[in-house]
């Protein structure tokens, strides 16, 4: 099984970290390729950023199918271009947000998304939950005031800030499952789960296992739901 992981930002700073995590958690017969886009934002923290990333990520996904990959992972919790990828590709396409909140909906009655990026990220996160039909299972969206590009600067501060918001999500908002709302928070879920005593979902790992499962079961997105785009001239 060959899976292409598309990181829809114009920096490769996350690539090796993702590759290492996936090598640890993937099935033995899974081959992982991690790439980032060449044009677009450095990070995605709002709809504006996601829109900048969508076309390049979509073209990279099309290339993956041409190259013979078995699945594509759209590696960002904003799922930029995910619906378009599902329309164009025959192979399964999995986004971090979609995979993580559907998994969360199976593990408890209410989940909260806890993430980085400040107030900018809250609206787009809520929009995605509504799009995926799980608003009735959402307890809250909480975000700490740490930018995505600053995640690596102080890991202990990052974990503590996320812990404080996740604890409030449980005690004040009624969440019984926590979803981390950024693919760059690798290594945090296990720490928080031990502290909080509820399931904490790493969206990148959720997407990996979902993609592997779909390939093994011979399943992909329905072309009745996501019909192939008509052929026409499209100028890049």
| Measured CA distances, 193 to 23, 70, 117, 134 (Å) | 22, 32, 21, 22
CATH number at residue 20: 3.40.50.1860
Tell me the average pLDDT of the chain. 97
pLDDT of residue 193: 98
82 and 43 belong to one structural domain: yes
pLDDT of residue 69: 98
Reported as a single tens digit per residue, the pLDDT across 58-114 is 999 999 999 999 999 999 999 999 999 999 999 999 999 999 999 999 999 999 999
pLDDT of residue 73: 98
Domain annotation covers residue 235: no
Which residue reads 């503590």 in tokens?
160
* Residue 97 C-alpha from the chain's centroid: 4
CB under 8 Å to 21, separation ≥6 — which residues?
186, 187, 204, 205
Tell me the average pLDDT across 174-203.
97
13 and 90 belong to one structural domain: yes
180 and 106 belong to one structural domain: yes
Res. 116: pLDDT tops 90: yes
- The sign of the torsion formed by the CA atoms of 76, 20, 86, 37 equals positive
| Mode of pairing for the β-strands spanning 111-116 and 177-180 | parallel
pLDDT of residue 101: 98
What are the residues facing 36 on neighbouring strands?
7
Domain annotation covers residue 236: no
186 and 147 belong to one structural domain: yes
Domain annotation covers residue 230: no
CA–CA separation, 118 and 143 (whole Å): 5
pLDDT of residue 46: 93
Domain annotation covers residue 234: no
Total domains in the fold of the chain: 2
H/E run at residue 177? strand 177-180
104 and 198 belong to one structural domain: yes
77 and 8 belong to one structural domain: yes
Res. 51: pLDDT tops 90: yes
Nearest to 165 by CA among 144, 148, 181: 144
**CA-atom Rg of the chain in angstroms:** 17
Domain annotation covers residue 226: no
Domain annotation covers residue 151: yes
Res. 205: pLDDT tops 90: yes
pLDDT of residue 152: 86
Least confident segment among 18-22, 92-96, 118-122, 159-163: 118-122
Domain annotation covers residue 121: yes
pLDDT of residue 196: 98
pLDDT of residue 236: 79
CATH number at residue 163: 3.40.50.12500
Dump strand ranges (E) for 29-156: 31-36, 71-74, 93-95, 111-116, 138-144
Res. 56: pLDDT tops 90: yes
Tell me the average pLDDT across 131-136.
97
């Amino acid at each position: 099984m060959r899976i292409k992981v598309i990181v829809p930002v114009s920096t490769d700073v996350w690539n090796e970290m993702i590759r290492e995590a996936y090598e640890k958690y993937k099935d033995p017969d899974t081959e992982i390729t991690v790439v980032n886009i060449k044009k677009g934002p450095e990070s995605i923290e709002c709809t504006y950023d996601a829109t900048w990333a969508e076309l390049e990520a979509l073209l990279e996904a099309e290339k993956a199918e041409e190259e013979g990959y078995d699945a594509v992972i759209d590696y960002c919790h904003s799922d930029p271009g995910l619906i378009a990828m599902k329309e164009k590709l025959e192979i399964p396409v999995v986004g971090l947000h979609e995979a993580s909140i559907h998994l969360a909906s199976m593990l408890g009655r209410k989940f909260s998304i806890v993430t980085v990026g400040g107030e900018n990220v809250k609206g787009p996160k809520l929009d995605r939950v509504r799009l995926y039909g799980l608003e009735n299972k959402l307890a809250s969206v909480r975000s700490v005031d740490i930018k995505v590009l600053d995640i690596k600067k102080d890991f202990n501060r990052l974990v503590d800030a996320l812990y404080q918001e996740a604890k409030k999500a449980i005690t004040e908002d009624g969440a019984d499952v926590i979803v981390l709302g950024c693919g760059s928070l690798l290594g945090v879920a296990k720490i928080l789960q031990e502290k909080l005593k509820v399931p904490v979902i790493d969206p990148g790992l959720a997407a990996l296992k979902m993609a592997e499962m779909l390939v093994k079961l011979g399943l992909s997105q329905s072309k009745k739901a996501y019909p192939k785009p008509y052929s026409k001239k499209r100028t890049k």
